[in-house]
């Protein structure tokens, strides 16, 4: 009985992994357009016109703990200091696309 149960559980696990839908990748081209329309006024070229040291460049993102899509999404949604919150102004997927674009550009050196 235990052997049959183990085989069934294994089959369910394999089936679940084999047929699960992959997570959708962010659309960085769309993120670039949204960034240009909503973020570039303060962050053109990965810079920051309000707080010059807190750029969107790779070293600054790492230094200030903003070097992941999740952390950038949180910051963009909730804002902080002079940065406005974009929750309710942009959709979750739009914010995720922008975050992916920012990470991509930081890796490329803006």
Residue with tokens 């369910």, as numbered in its chain? 12
The response to whether 1 counts as a known ligand-binding position is: no
Enter the tokens of residue 89: 């102004």
Cα-trace Rg, the chain: 20
The response to whether 51 counts as a known ligand-binding position is: no
The response to whether 66 counts as a known ligand-binding position is: no
The response to whether 39 counts as a known ligand-binding position is: yes
Residue whose C-alpha is closest to residue 71's, from 98, 46, 99: 99
55: helix, strand or coil: coil
User: 106, 61 in Cβ contact below 8 A?
Assistant: yes
Per the annotation, where are the binding residues? Answer: 39, 42-43, 83
Per the annotation, where are the binding residues for heme c? Answer: 39, 42-43, 83
């Amino acid at each position: 009985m235990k052997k049959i149960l183990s085989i069934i559980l294994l089959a369910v696990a394999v089936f679940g992994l084999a047929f699960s839908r992959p997570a959708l990748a962010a659309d960085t081209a769309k993120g670039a357009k949204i960034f240009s329309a909503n973020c570039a006024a303060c962050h053109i070229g990965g810079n920051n016109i309000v707080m010059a040291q807190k750029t969107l460049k790779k070293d600054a993102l790492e230094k200030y703990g903003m070097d992941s899509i999740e952390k950038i999404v949180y910051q963009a949604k909730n804002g902080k200091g002079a940065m406005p919150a974009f929750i309710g102004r942009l959709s979750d997927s739009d914010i995720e696309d922008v975050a992916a674009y920012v990470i991509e550009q930081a890796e490329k050196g803006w």
